[in-house]
Amino acid sequence: MKAIRVHQPGGPENMVYEDVPMPSVGQGQALVKLRAIGVNYMDIYLRQGAQRSTFPLIPGGEGAGVVEATGQGVTEVRVGDLVAYTGAGSSYAEHVVVPSWRLVKLPQGVDASMGAASILQGMTAHYLANSTYPLKAGDTCLVHAAAGGVGLLLVQMAKMRGARVIATVSTSEKAKLAAGAGADEVVNYTEQDFEAEVKRITGGKGCQVVYDAVGKATFDKSLASLAPRGLLALYGAASGPVPPLDINRLGGVMSLSLTRPSLTAYTATREELLLRAGELFSWIGSGKLKVRIEETFKLSSAVEAHRKLEGRLTAGKLLLVP
Ligand code: NDP
């Protein structure tokens, strides 16, 4: 089969479209013929070698397609089912083998493109807004990179829970998209000091929670944007990893909390996975939640997709099709 492989950690040009052996299905696994593959920022960290992976590797942790074969003991899906998944690797390929318990059957009204466009970023937004800090009416949250894949979904889910949303973005086009997703206030953090803007907007009170996946460039001001007893959910590092922190910075009168959550931990059981994916797909199917697909590339053009994502040139989701 054809796949994208990375032989050495490095830039997008290190991704090679080539023939690789077809994966074989084992016990508790299913073979999925992919129809759409989600591109995520974490694919960039993996390609760069930030996760101490073994090379060569096939990047990608999200996709949707049809089950072609199942191994022994598989009960969750059958051959012919249209499924989506995240939390299983090697997705930049024509076929993938996935532990069957990670597969979610797509309901009517959610096709393979929508499944691959939403399952990872959608469940991430879901756990951040509903579990890491369960937002409620009266809360103000700050969502960084609000026109991004996770960002646009998180803004919508925060509004569904009744919170006030302050969004940050880097361009006026992205500002329009964040406002369209429901953000109450949008700050261009490349032109304005977002900490000062948060203070102004909240009358000096600060936010109950900051959702920050930009990392190094925003971390200090994110901490400073919190209200007393506020929570900083640092869930990514698009601008680079945050350096080691003196824990005393959280203390004193502010009594802040810091968490570094991951989707893996918030979908660690089949029950929790199905709960989050079930709500996500029902909102998408009913039109309550909008998923913006920015662009769909051929699998062989994954290099181009990575260049755009890394270059901050996207809003919403990028997909690959085999
Ligand atoms: P996005 O579509 O949000 O793309 C990243 C965005 O980050 C850019 O569009 C850009 O928005 C912003 N950004 C700010 N500074 C930089 C920089 N120096 N270089 C590149 N981008 C920058 O990607 P995803 O939705 O796939 O992921 C968003 C973040 O969420 C990532 O950090 C990812 O690792 C994290 N994540 C974490 C998960 C978890 O469970 N912990 C799960 C899923 C994603 P702008 O131009 O507006 O600044």
Answer yes or no: is 308 within a domain.
yes
Q: Which residues does a 6 A CB cutoff place in the pocket of ligand 1?
A: 40-42, 120-121, 124, 145, 147-151, 169-170, 174, 213-214, 217, 235-239, 261-263, 309-310, 312, 314
| Residue range 241-259, pLDDT digits in tens | 999 999 999 998 899 999 9
Domain-ending residue, one of 240, 260, 280: 260
* Cα 182 to the center of its chain, rounded Å: 19
Same domain, 146 and 230: yes
* Cα of 312 from ligand 1 centre, angstroms: 9
Domain-ending residue, one of 233, 260, 287: 260
CATH of residue 180: 3.40.50.720
Atom of ligand 1 nearest to the CA of 189: 48
Answer yes or no: is 25 within a domain.
yes
Answer yes or no: is 129 within a domain.
no
Query: pTM above 0.75?
Result: yes
* Cα 131 to the center of its chain, rounded Å: 15
Atom of ligand 1 nearest to the CA of 147: 47
Atom 9 (ligand 1): residue with closest C-alpha? 312
* Cα of 130 from ligand 1 centre, angstroms: 20
Answer yes or no: is 131 within a domain.
no
Same domain, 44 and 61: yes
The number of distinct structural domains making up the chain is: 2
- Ligand 1, from 37, 40, 176, 276: best to mutate by most atoms within 8 Å of Cβ? 40
Same domain, 40 and 79: yes
| Residue range 74-124, pLDDT digits in tens | 999 999 999 999 998 899 999 999 999 999 999 999 999 999 999 999 999
Atom 11 (ligand 1): residue with closest C-alpha? 145
Atom 3 (ligand 1): residue with closest C-alpha? 148
Q: What single DSSP character describes residue 246? A: -
Give me the domain span that covers residue 164. 136-260
pLDDT confidence tier of residue 308, bands split at 50, 70 and 90: very high
pLDDT confidence tier of residue 219, bands split at 50, 70 and 90: very high
- Burial of residue 20 (CB within 10 Å: 0-12, 13-18, 19+) is middle
Rounded Cα distance between 304 and 298, Å, is 10
* Cα of 81 from ligand 1 centre, angstroms: 31
Same domain, 232 and 199: yes
Q: What single DSSP character describes residue 133? A: S
CATH of residue 71: 3.90.180.10
Atom of ligand 1 nearest to the CA of 237: 32
Same domain, 234 and 313: no
| Residue range 151-199, pLDDT digits in tens | 999 999 999 999 999 999 999 999 999 999 999 999 999 999 999 999 9
Answer yes or no: is 47 within a domain.
yes
Atom 39 (ligand 1): residue with closest C-alpha? 262
Answer yes or no: is 53 within a domain.
yes
Q: Please give the pLDDT value at position 91.
A: 98
At residue 283, does pLDDT exceed 90?
yes
Q: Please give the pLDDT value at position 264.
A: 97
Same domain, 161 and 111: no
Same domain, 192 and 90: no
At residue 292, does pLDDT exceed 90?
yes
Answer yes or no: is 128 within a domain.
no
Atom 4 (ligand 1): residue with closest C-alpha? 148
Same domain, 271 and 253: no
Same domain, 188 and 222: yes
Answer yes or no: is 127 within a domain.
no
Domain-ending residue, one of 260, 284, 313: 260
Q: How far is CA 149 from CA 99, 122, 274, 306, 312, in A?
A: 25, 8, 21, 14, 11
* Cα of 62 from ligand 1 centre, angstroms: 16
Same domain, 315 and 252: no
Same domain, 10 and 112: yes
Same domain, 152 and 95: no
Atom 16 (ligand 1): residue with closest C-alpha? 239
At residue 51, does pLDDT exceed 90?
no
